[in-house]
Structures are given as C-alpha cells and as structure tokens.
A and B are shown apart, each in its own frame.
Chain A
Amino acid sequence: MSAADLTADGGHETPLSEQGPAPKQVVVGYGFWLFLLSDIVIFSALFAAYAVLSDATANGPAGVRLFDRQRVFIETVCLLASSVTCGFGSLAVQKRNLTHAYVWLIATLALGASFLKLELSEFGAMMAMGAGPSRSAFLSAFYTLVGTHGLHVTAGMAWLIVMLTQLRTLGFQPMVRRRLFCFGLFWHALDIVWIGVFTIVYLGAH
C-alpha cells in the first residue's frame, strides 16, 4: 500500500504500525492455521515411526495381506466429498443462508460418519484376524497413525455437532461464524493428512 492509497481514502492516515492488532477474524484464523501446522507436525512424527517400523512385522501379517484397497478407496472418496460439502457449508455461512448451511454441514457429518464406520469395521476385521496393535511393531505404528487420524475425525464430528446446535441457538453471530470458519480449516487439513495416510500406508504396503 503506497502513501497515495493511504491519503486517498481520507481518515485512514495512521501508519500500519500504529493501527493496532488485526481484527479478531484474522487473528483467530491465523492462530488456528498455526495450530493446524503443529498438528501436522505431530502426524509427521507418527509417519516417521510408521516408515521406520513398517517392515518390523515380527513374522506376523504384512500390510499387503491385511489391507483392502477397495474399502480404502471408498473411505478416501467419502473424506474428499465431505471436504467439498464442508466448503459449500462455509460458503452458505458467508451468505447467511441457514437452510443451505444445515444441508451442507449435515452432509459433511454424514460423510464423516461413513468414513469412520468403514475405518472401524476395518480395524474390527483386522483384530478378529489376530492382527491387533500388540501383534507387531508394524501394527502398533499402523494403529497409532491411522487411529490418531480417526480420532481427529471423531473430534471434528463432535465439533460439528456442537456448531450445528450453536447455529440453531445463536444463529450467525460473529463468534459462531469464526468457529465454523476454523472448523472448515480443520476438516480440510484432516483431508490433507489422509492423502499421506492412504499413499504411504495403504498404497505403499508391501
């Protein structure tokens, strides 16, 4: 922004350094972005552990025998579609369209729930085969990494249910819109982590 811009719109002559902190929306959004990046750093440690331990099967079953790619593909599409419905939901929130916001956010919730159901049925089937987290170092790392992602999805769904209730009771207050905005960032970030999971864990299995 040049000096001419500052004088052009009148009462906006205080220099940037003296305009005080940015509005709450920007501070909250940026702070939440930093949180998401540190969350991704946590996942990077779990990815590192998985990469190191993925061959340590202790004569137990290896990944390629355990994983069902068709199921993982459906899980991936569920999560991807839920990211898009979540985006449509935040557009509806920006436009203050309550009905559209409900429809898209509930669709996000449903897609998240079907992802979680598929993941839990996969874990259940593996444990029934005797491939639980205590079977080998590879399986411990697998359940920790994929389970942490699943826990994040669960937490996100709980958050979304709270936000749907707040939309109902509080409406489009700035506070509620800020929270929904952060929820959108969180949900998209989880989808980015899932790309790493399905590429390294499921497609990279050998």
Chain B
Amino acid sequence: MSEYSTPQGLAPGVISRRHATWRSYLVGFVAALVLTIASFAAASTNIVYGPSVPLLLGVLAIAQMGIHLIFFLHISSAPDQTNNVLALAFGVFVVGLTVFGSMIIMANLSHMMPTIGKLLEMQR
C-alpha cells in the first residue's frame, strides 16, 4: 500500500486503513441499491406527492453519487486526500456551471423569442 501513499498525498481510490476493504464495497452496494430502488419507486408509483417527485429524484441521485464516491472511489476528507477533493470540487463547479448556465440561457432565449405571428407582423 505504501507505493500508493506519500507525504505529497494519496492517489484517488486508495484507502489508508488496511483491513476489510471488501466490506466497504458491500456497504456501498447495498446503500446504492436501496437508493436506486427508492428512485424507481418514487418515479413509478403514487407513494410520493406528484409535484415533489423531481426534487426527491435529485436528492436521491446526489446521495447515490456521494455513496459511490465514498465507498467505491474512496474519496474522503482525510488530509492526504486534499488534492483529490479539490480537483473534484473544481469538476463539480464546471459541471454545475455548464448544466445550469445552459439551462438558464436557453430558457431566457426561448422566452425572448417572438412567436411566429409576431415575426410575420415585424416583416410587414
């Protein structure tokens, strides 16, 4: 394990604790499976109040991504993981900027776009 770990930090996906790491994958699997079933149940049945389903799906998806990062990729808040966490934070920042930025800009453009009738009127 020492070849993965140095004073400069740890490679992503490496655990500093040595024992029983197969347990981490099993715990992650069960937790991710529960969250997946919850997502599909929320979307396919009437258990949850309709208008709140998209928000719930978002929360469940982010929770499951967290489970994957912690139990499969072994990202943690340990000091030797700082480099990996900072890179991840920058990645999440760019992803958020791209997705929400595009959605806001495109919704705004579509809002400003005149209807066909209005366009014909303007050509007169």
Q: A23-B6, A26-B4, A30-B12 are in contact. Are A45 and B98 (CB under 8 A)?
A: yes
B74 smallest CB distance to A (angstroms):
9
A-B contact count (CB 8 A): 141
Q: How far is the CA of A73 from the CA of B29 in the complex (A)?
A: 15
Contact A69 B8 (CB under 8 A): no
Residue-wise interface mask of B (1-37) relative to A, using a CB-CB cutoff of 8 A (1 in contact, 0 not): 1011111111111100000011011101100110010
The yes or no answer to A162 lying at the interface (CB within 8 A) is: no
Contact A33 B69 (CB under 8 A): no
Asked whether any CB of chain A lies closer than 8 Å to the CB of B84, the reply is: yes
What is the total number of residues of chain B having a CB less than 8 Å from a CB of chain A?
A: 53
Seen from chain B, the residues whose Cβ lies within 8 Å of a Cβ on chain A are: 1, 3-14, 21-22, 24-26, 28-29, 32-33, 36, 39-40, 42-44, 54, 57-58, 60-61, 64-65, 68-69, 72-73, 83-84, 87-88, 90-91, 94-95, 98-99, 101-103, 106
A-B CB contact pairs (8 Å), 10 listed: A1-B7, A23-B6, A33-B11, A33-B87, A37-B90, A44-B94, A48-B103, A188-B13, A192-B65, A198-B36
